[in-house]
Amino acid sequence: MRYPIKLKQDGKFFLVTFPDIPEAITQGEGEEQALHAAKEALETALDFYFEENRIVPSPSLLKRKQRYVELPVSLAAKVLLLNEMLRQKVRPAELARRLHTTPQEINRLTNIRHTSKIDGIADAMKALGKTLQISAANDLAA
């Protein structure tokens, strides 16, 4: 998942915003610092979506040479899991029942600060009738 950003120089600072995640706003004294801060701002904003059980907006299509922040694969998988649970209105206790595990284990799968094995997220998606697919693509930045 690559979330496009808007990078704008504002005096001596560079302001970074995310069109798809309006809660994520940050800045840095230089471009590199702003881009580093953007990753942290995006993850912090996503944490609010998870805490409030809100669907995380999908990233819009990147325009040619547009800058972006890419989510780590495990976090992208957690976003997909949370969104699917919310769409189907499946609570952690129900998903735990389907997987023969505890609600606490499902809460860990949907906590972006907790490290989860991708296999656990894939099993949870399967219990929701979905298949988590991973593929390799050419790097857009190359």
Cα–Cα distance measured from residue 38 to residue 32, given in angstroms and rounded to the nearest whole number: 10
- In the chain (142 residues long), the average pLDDT of successive 10-residue segments reads 93 94 94 93 95 95 92 94 97 96 93 91 96 80 49
Cα–Cα distance measured from residue 62 to residue 67, given in angstroms and rounded to the nearest whole number: 8
The pLDDT assigned to 24 comes to 95
The pLDDT assigned to 140 comes to 56
The pLDDT assigned to 85 comes to 96
pTM: 0.89
The pLDDT assigned to 142 comes to 44
β-pair partners for 9:
14
The yes or no reply on domain 2-70 and CATH 3.40.50.300 is no
